[in-house]
Amino acid sequence: MRNKFTLRRVGIYIAFFGITFSQAFGQNSPRQQKIDTLNQSMDSLSLESIEDSIFALAPRKSHFSADISYLSNNVYMGRFDSVATPYITALLAFYDKSGLFANASASYLALSGYNRIDLVTVEAGYLYVHKNFDAEVSAAKYWFSKYSFNVRSSIREGFTILTGYDLGFIKPTISPTVTIADKADFALAVGIEHSFYLFNDAVDITPTANLNGSTENFYNSYYKKHKFSLRRKGEVVKVNGHLEGEVLNASQFKILDYEFTMPINYVVKKFTFNFSPVFAIPVNPALTQLTAIRPGFPDKVKISNEVITNSFFWQAGITYKF
C-alpha cells in the first residue's frame, strides 16, 4: 500500500514530541556531541574575551577520539534494501583547537553470508560555535564495496553544511547537502530539537524531529546497479534472465521522509556511551520502471510506484577521548 502521511499529522507528532519531553530531562545529535566537545574543553574566559575572540569557544588543546558503534539497519531518507544492512563501524577522529576536524571510519557488514568491509569513509570539516549559534561545514569521501546493496552505495562524495540556533525552548536546524553519484543530488534537512541534561550533565537527551527532502539520482543508481545485481553476495550467479530497474524523474526534488529520534549520551570520564533510536516515515514513493529480460523473449516492462514502509532502527556505541 502507498504510505499516506499529511502535514497535519506531522504537526501532531511534533507537538506530541515537544509536550512529552518538555517535562523530562535528557542525547545530542552527532553535531551537538562535537559542540559539547568544544565547550567542555574551554579555558576559563571572561565574557569580554569570549565576545572579542573568534576562537573563544575552541578547546584549549587538540585531541583524538576513537569510536565503535553498531547500526541495526542502514536507512537513508526512509529508503532501505530488502536485505537489512547492519553495520559495525570503527572510527578515529582528530579535533584541532581551531575547530578543524577530520575522521576516518570503516563499516563492517555484520550479516551472515555477506561478512565484509562494506564502506570506508574519510571526512574533514570545520565547526564554529558562538553563543547560541553553531555551524559545521564538512566534506566526505565514500568507498563502498562493489557488491554493496546499501541504498547509498553509488554515492562517492558529499558536501554538507549544518547550522542551528538555540532559542532556549527549541533549536531549529537546517542542513543543505550535495552528494555525487552518477549525477549530483541536492538534499535538504530541516529540523527542531531540544537538549535536556541529567546528573550534573553526565546524561544528555535530545528529542529531534526532521523533515528530509532530496533529488533521487542516488536512488536511481542504486536501482540500476545494486538492487537487482547478480553479484550481491560477491559472486556472479548465472541465470537465463534478470531484472533491470530505474527510478523515473530522479532529478525532481521532493520530500522523502520524516524522522523522529531521541539520542542519549552518558559520559563517564573519557568514555561516552550513546544510543540513538530512530523512527522514519517515508513519503512520496518513487515511480519505478522494472524490465524483465530473458534471452529469446520480448522484454517485459512494468511501471509502478515503489512500496514504502515505516522503519525503526537504532545505533549504539562507545567513544573514548584521548
Q: What is the predicted pLDDT for the residue at 57? A: 40
C-alpha cell at 176: 543543505
Name the maximum alpha-carbon separation found in the chain: 80
Task: Report the distance separating Cα 190 and Cα 179, nearest Å.
Answer: 17
Task: Report the distance separating Cα 212 and Cα 320, nearest Å.
Answer: 31
Domain covering 7-215+254-282+308-321 assigned CATH 2.40.160.40 in the classification: yes
Task: Report the distance separating Cα 108 and Cα 111, nearest Å.
Answer: 9
Q: Where are the domains of the chain?
A: 7-215+254-282+308-321
Task: Report the distance separating Cα 20 and Cα 9, nearest Å.
Answer: 16
Q: What is the predicted pLDDT for the residue at 36? A: 57
Q: Where are the alpha helices (DSSP H) in the chain?
A: 7-21, 30-40, 47-52, 217-222
**Burial (CB count <10 Å: 0-12, 13-18, 19+), residue 307:** exposed
Task: Report the distance separating Cα 241 and Cα 2, nearest Å.
Answer: 29
Place of cell 542502514: 74
DSSP state string for 54-73: TTTTS-SS-EEEEEEEEES-
Confidence (pTM): 0.79
Cβ atoms of 221 and 141 closer than 8 Å: no
Task: Report the distance separating Cα 18 and Cα 162, nearest Å.
Answer: 22
Task: Report the distance separating Cα 162 and Cα 199, nearest Å.
Answer: 29
**Burial (CB count <10 Å: 0-12, 13-18, 19+), residue 176:** middle
SS3 of residue 291 by DSSP:
strand
Task: Report the distance separating Cα 21 and Cα 263, nearest Å.
Answer: 13
Task: Report the distance separating Cα 186 and Cα 119, nearest Å.
Answer: 22
Residue 106: HSE in the Cβ half-sphere, 13 Å Cα cutoff: 3
Q: What is the predicted pLDDT for the residue at 21? A: 35
**Residue of 109, 69, 118, 117 lying closest to 89 (CA atoms):** 69
SS3 of residue 220 by DSSP:
helix
Q: What is the pLDDT along the chain (322 residues), one digit of tens a residue?
A: 444 444 444 343 434 334 333 333 333 445 555 555 555 444 333 333 333 333 334 445 899 999 999 999 999 999 999 889 999 999 999 999 999 999 999 999 999 888 899 999 999 999 999 999 999 999 999 999 988 999 999 999 999 999 999 999 999 999 999 999 999 999 999 999 999 999 999 999 999 999 999 999 999 999 988 887 666 655 555 556 677 889 999 999 999 999 999 999 999 999 999 999 999 999 999 999 988 877 777 778 889 899 999 999 999 999 999 9
